[in-house]
Structure 1
Amino acid sequence: MKKLLVTGGAGFIGANFVHYWLNKYQEDKVIVLDALTYAGNMENLHLVQGNDNFTFIKGDICDQALVESLMLEHSIDTIVHFAAESHVDRSITGPDAFIETNILGTYSLLKAAKKCWLDVESGSVEHRFHHVSTDEVYGTLSADDPAFSEETAYAPNSPYSASKAASDHLVRAYHHTYGLNVTTSNCSNNYGPYHFPEKLIPLVITNILHNKELPIYGDGMQIRDWLYVEDHAYGIDLVLNKGRVGENYNIGGNNEWANINIVKEVCKLVESEFAKAPELAARFPEAVAAINANTESLITYVKDRPGHDRRYAIDATKTRDELGYEPQESFETGIAKTVTWYLNNESWWKAVMDGSYQDWVEKQYK
């Protein structure tokens, strides 16, 4: 039986991982530590609240004393570190938070882990520190370049990716210098349920439903590899149970899509859903374009963001060959599930978008 501390477990990817883990490993204990900032949401965890093996703690990963107390109180043997500032646009306009959380926060966790697991009288405790990172640390690719492998040199191009690269190096250093048992996974773009509405796919869905413009940076031909979030959880599961200590593993979806084509695919899916279920027109009366099957008319091209990477692509050969990883969802099946989820969970994304959820957090945890 494992006892996991999941940082950032109320965020998009972290919450999906918590659902996955408690469903698969029903004897394990999962303690979530999350600061409940703008992207953390207790509603993301509503399916596991009430589970005796689930505990939630509101707190900051930079609070080393808190992390140490949680590790000792709950006899933590595994840390899965999701907590991070992750939106590139926000990192351009406000990089300080990314340095604080992604670099100093990871450093604080590593110090706590070393103290509780290595600096003990009995010697090293059986443990694993798993660090969740991104393909953006590798920089950008041209159209003909081979996909990123674990041997690709780091070349981050935004404050976000630079902060994640720094945290990756710290995790590696704590393994090689102190002997901390670590693994790192670098994933491609995730999508799926509970995705914060500022990100591309949920933004397109919710803007369609409000008959708002669908903003596309530059020419829209930036290419990303898309990974259904539950496939990401599955990949981390394999790394934790089969991965070699000290190694990095790429987790990808084998789904390279240009942003403009993603947007057009979502437009078609929303139109299809409205055609199949006429009651959606009553629920979303502003979605005139979707009702009239002219959703692509909402697409608007806007000025590209500074330093926008042209292409990301993940080579997950190592993860496949060593761990047996294969994504379970194609993009077509995963995006269909995602659109359906957003249509069925209007109350969730409306609460996030209108700020009522954050007001609730401040009252609950003031």
Structure 2
Amino acid sequence: MLLKDIIKIFENKYPKNLAYDWDNIGLIIGDSQRDIRKILVALEATEEVVDEAIEKDVDLVITHHPFLFKGLKRVTKDTPKGNCIYKLIKNDIAVYSSHTNFDIAYDGLNDEICSMLELENIKILDKTKADKMYKIVVYVPLSHEDKVREALGLSGAGHIGNYSNCTFNTKGIGTFMPLENTNPYIGSKGNLEKVQEVRIETICSENILSNVISKMIDAHPYEEVAYDIYELRNEGMKYGLGRIGDSKENMTLGVFAQYVKEKLDISDLRIVGSPNKEIKKVAVVSGSGSSMIHNAYSMKADVLITGDVKYHEAQEALELGICLIDAGHFGSEKIFVDIASRYLEANLKNVEIIRSDIYINPFVTI
């Protein structure tokens, strides 16, 4: 399967446009036209992971952390990063990274943690983006209205909340005159035609607009399709960093922290706040999310689960009266490997998916 097709499938679920501007995601190293037979999924491409990829003869490594983040001035074998790049290119191994877009996307890291903790009534903690919406209006002869309407629905147009295939239809008279060099479906050259038509109106998001138009035109019988596109002020699907939801059962912070350890399968964590405080509303930000303390506080969270909490951030949380569970950067993101692998296994054919065996947490608790 071509790498460009794998990327398209992956980005259908975890779109690049959800990432923060400062992030470096997508295809970092490799040829998009390369045929891919084996994929190694890892949290990040350390030298040990690169060696694993070479040993297992993979064609592509997919990581969460961007393989290249800061600018490089030279690539030489005598530096760790340069040596990794040298090995990857020499062995024709591509690298693709999906970072903040994977955190923000639905069914990404934060949603997975909420699912593992069995949280309910999940909402976005910090909205970062909303789909831009468009109205599509097309004029169709009565003979093809069902076919065109079906094509619009199947291509994803007409989604409003939990409803699909939403359209509005108005019948009227369409007029046109075929000129020279035309091959009209209805009518003859030089004669004004009057045709019973239906005006079909629907909406779709910007990310599927071009595909919807293409499918609509394919289903339409006319040589020249008359249609209008209007940009709307309505917001579509909303996206954001972090999640907030309700615990199924009330627990104290001490008990809930142990529950988090078990569910995330981590050996240690840190807490901020009284172990006896009752926990009901839970905020989650995978990786380094202590900057979201105020977001969690404003949404009345009892606790924020994240990683990389610093001393002064912990003091600030105490002053606000919100508890923290620091599960570690690695501890809150290692599940990327399973999430990404499951999605690839379900959506790719004739491609072997391998989960990395390398344990990359740089911290050792003694």
User: Structure 2-normalised TM-score?
Assistant: 0.22
Q: Which protein has greater RCO, CA pairs closer than 8 Å, 6+ apart?
A: 2
Structure with the larger helix share? 1
User: Structure 1-normalised TM-score?
Assistant: 0.22
Structure with the larger strand share? 2
Larger CA Rg, structure 1 vs 2: 2
